[in-house]
Structure formats: C-alpha cells, structure tokens
Chain A
Amino acid sequence: MKLSKQEFLSLSGMGHDTLNTWIEEEWLVPSGTSLELSFTEVDIARARLVRDLQMDFGVNDEGVGVILNLVDQIYGMRRALMELRRTVRSTSERD
C-alpha cells in the first residue's frame, strides 16, 4: 500500500513540522522524491513506535535515534537468523 504525504499525516495523526523533523533525523525514510514523498504501512508502524518512545517512555530526541539504530540492527539480525534457519533446514533435508 502506497500513501501520499497527506494520507500519511492523517493516518498517523502527525503534524507537518514533526514529520519534517523526523525525516531530517532519518527516523523515517519515505521513498519518492522530496516533492512527492511516498509512505507505506511500515512507516506508520514505525511512527507509532517513535511516538510510544517519546510519549510513553519519556525518551528524548537523542535517545530515539540511538534506540531506532539498535532496533534496526536487532531486526536485521533476526532476519539473518531466520534466513540461516531456512538454509540449515534445506541443507539438512538434502543430506
């Protein structure tokens, strides 16, 4: 599902300026050009995570950047682990 900037703002309940800041900080990385940004459901879910960090956990802006970086690395490793499990399974099936 592709969302325009306007659709993203109304779905996430986010303000225009906040979005610009988050994109500048690279907390959100929409695709498309700077004139016409394009968002997906991943961006919505990620925006909700940032909101939880700020509002519910009281994390400040510096903290959000650090956490997102670590979170992305964890998910990257989880994907590698899943892929590894698949490789090991298919190898052992062949043996």
Chain B
Amino acid sequence: MKDPYEILGVARTASAEDLQKAYRKLAKKLHPDLNPGNAEAEEKFKEIAGAYDLVGDAEKRKKFDNGEIDVAGVERPRQNYYRDYASSEQDHPYANNSGFTDFMDSEDGFAELLRRSARAQANRRGHDLEYRLPIEFIEAIAGANKRLTLPDGSTLDVAIPPGIIEGQVLRLRGKGAPGSGKGGFGDALIEVEIRPDPLFTRQGDDIYLELPVTLTEAVLGALIKVPTPTGAVTMAVPKGSNTGTMLRLKGKGAPKHVGGQGDQFVKLKVMLPKEPNPELEAFVSGWESGMTYKPREEWHHET
C-alpha cells in the first residue's frame, strides 16, 4: 500500500479538517454504491477508505507518524456493496422505476422496447440455486438416493446416478428460486463431493483395493471374500502369490459413460503374524532355499 497521505493527496502536515475534506471529496467520486457505472471505483475506494481509517483517526495517525504502526493490516476487508444487490437481476424491495416511467407512456418504438423489457423483467425465470452434497465413495460408484435438507428446512430428493465423479454437477429442473410473474422456477445445481473411502481408491473407471493376505494364503493359494462397492465377491488367490501381485475383478469397477463397467484391481499384501512365532521361526531356519534366494540380486547398487 502506498503512503496514506499520498493516496488522499494531502501533505503530512495537513490538519484533521483538511484530511476529512480531502477524503470526502474522493469518496463522493469513488463510493461504489454512488458510482455504479465505475468498475474501478471499488478498488480505489478501498484504498482511500483504508488510508482515511489510518490517518483520519487522531490516535492512529500519531502512531503512524511515529512509525509505531504501518499501512499493512489496516485495509478494509472486502464487503458486499449495495450496488452488488441493486444491480443484480434479482428482485429487491428498493427497485424503483420512477426515473423513466414517463418514457414508457409514450407511443414510439423506444417506449415499446422499454415496455417489453419491463414485461420481461416481470416474468423473469427464478435463479439457479447451488448446493454441495457430500456422498460416500460407495454411493458414487453404485448410485444412491439422497435427501438434501435446505437452509429453510425444506428437503430436496436427489438421485445420484451410478459412477458419478467428484465435482460433477446435477441439475434438478424447477427446484431453484421462484421467478417473478410467469417466469417459473430456476434450477437447483448440486455439486457432488465424494468422501474418501478407507479401503477403495478410484482411477477413472477402475477401483483399487489393497488386500492383506496371510503367508499361508499367499503360498498355498486360497478363495478369499473381497469387498467391492457393490458387495463382496469370492476371489481365487493363486498359489505362489506375492506382495504386489495384482489381481483383476472384471466389471467390478465404476460404470462407464459409454456403457459397461470398469474393473476392480486387488493388490495383495502378504502379512506375517503380528507377534513373533516360534513355530514359523523354527520352520524358516530349516528352510534351505530361504537362504539361497536373492531378491536384491538385480540391484546394481553396492549394498
């Protein structure tokens, strides 16, 4: 921020009255509500208001002049100005047509245009209302019916289509704000927010799951019940599987836009018993190929 005296265009020695005078002169030209056609007014007004907040107050001015406080941190925060509402198309109780009703009463083409505009304004469609709807990961894959409770206490039933993705927006026709006259209702726009799942992750139409298996299951193979977003299925883990082995459950992923389903990929993770196990230790000590297998053989580093 620049020097507040410079912004207000006064000398550092200016009297309090001169400061106020300078501020009011600028503010009249720049107050956003009084200058709706001036797009830059808001930024400039913020600057002069911030400057005046600082040096227009005798105590703060003294501290500023002594270098005890600086210009940072005194800027007025962004606020909604009256013009933001008064200029919007939304109806508000202060709308006033008396500045041009006489134009509408005449019989020329311009009056006809104005009248048509007024009619259009009277029959404007309602606004779209935007909501956010958090859903569970599984609901995003399998679809769900959700009920959204609105701030005014009413409810909105939302059908989540299967396979929806994060940030997708659902449009409910006619569930937005009421319009004026014969304008009808706007739409409700619902942005879906998918909560992360502790088990599943998603990449495109495919779903990934890490499956812990016992040493016995990995070595000997097994039939294991595996969760999918649409319910558990039994999967054959082949004999001699390892940590990192990726198995595919065809068609158990998310529905694709073009039809069909993605897949679920199951990545195995071999888990030794949590506690040291004397039996396992005794077995492994006597297991010869356990000593000769070199899993780090392909590394080129010195280890």
Which residues of chain A have a CB within 8 Å of any CB of chain B?
1-2, 29, 31, 40-42, 44-46, 48-49, 52, 56-58, 67, 69, 71-80, 82-84, 86-88
Most chain A CB inside 10 Å of its own CB: which residue of B23, B89, B93: B93
Contact A48 B79 (CB under 8 A): yes
Q: Please provide the 9 A-B residue pairs with the shortest distance between their CB atoms, ordered closest to farther.
A: A73-B99, A83-B117, A72-B96, A75-B86, A45-B82, A76-B96, A42-B85, A49-B82, A29-B93
**Which residues of chain B come closer than 8 Å to A73, judged between CB atoms?**
96, 98-99
Chain A, Cβ-Cβ closest to B36:
A78
Contact B94 A75 (CB under 8 A): yes
Chain B, Cβ-Cβ closest to A68:
B94
Please classify the interface of chain A as helix (H, G, I), strand (E, B), loop, or mixed, using the class held by over half of its residues: helix
**Which residues of chain A come closer than 8 Å to B120, judged between CB atoms?**
83, 86-87
Interface pairs (7), CB distance under 8 Å = A40-B92, A57-B27, A74-B36, A78-B87, A79-B87, A82-B87, A83-B120
A-B contacts besides A79-B89, A79-B121, 10 pairs, CB < 8 Å: A31-B93, A45-B80, A58-B24, A72-B86, A73-B96, A75-B87, A78-B87, A80-B121, A86-B120, A88-B113
Interface residues of B in 47-74 (CB under 8 A from A): 49, 52
Contact A84 B113 (CB under 8 A): yes
Bound Cα distance A80, B180 (Å): 16
Bound Cα distance A57, B161 (Å): 56
Q: Identify which of B33, B37, B100, B152 contacts A76 (C-beta below 8 A).
A: B100
Contact B113 A87 (CB under 8 A): yes
Does B125 sit within 8 A of A, measured CB to CB? no
**Which residues of chain A come closer than 8 Å to B93, judged between CB atoms?**
29, 31, 42
Chain A, Cβ-Cβ closest to B28:
A57
Contact B82 A72 (CB under 8 A): no
Bound Cα distance A88, B118 (Å): 13
Contact B97 A80 (CB under 8 A): yes
Q: Identify which of B94, B97, B113 contacts A46 (C-beta below 8 A).
A: B94
Does B31 sit within 8 A of A, measured CB to CB? yes
Contact B94 A87 (CB under 8 A): no
**Which residues of chain A come closer than 8 Å to B117, judged between CB atoms?**
80, 83-84, 86-87
Does B278 sit within 8 A of A, measured CB to CB? no
**Which residues of chain A come closer than 8 Å to B97, judged between CB atoms?**
76, 80
Contact A80 B94 (CB under 8 A): no
Kindly supply a per-residue 1/0 record for chain B positions 102-121, scoring 1 wherever the CB is within 8 Å of any chain A CB and 0 otherwise.
00000000000110111011
**Which residues of chain A come closer than 8 Å to B87, judged between CB atoms?**
75, 78-79, 82
Contact B98 A76 (CB under 8 A): yes
Bound Cα distance A71, B94 (Å): 10
CB distance from A1 to the nearest CB of B (A): 7
CB distance from A88 to the nearest CB of B (A): 7
Bound Cα distance A1, B80 (Å): 14
CB distance from A89 to the nearest CB of B (A): 12
Does B151 sit within 8 A of A, measured CB to CB? yes
Does B12 sit within 8 A of A, measured CB to CB? no
**Which residues of chain B come closer than 8 Å to A56, judged between CB atoms?**
23-24, 27, 49, 52
CB distance from B84 to the nearest CB of A (A): 7
Bound Cα distance A87, B28 (Å): 33
Contact A76 B85 (CB under 8 A): no
Bound Cα distance A2, B99 (Å): 29
Chain B, Cβ-Cβ closest to A83:
B117
Chain A, Cβ-Cβ closest to B45:
A52
Does B159 sit within 8 A of A, measured CB to CB? no
Bound Cα distance A74, B82 (Å): 13
Contact A42 B99 (CB under 8 A): no
Bound Cα distance A83, B117 (Å): 5
CB distance from B80 to the nearest CB of A (A): 5
Contact A29 B94 (CB under 8 A): yes
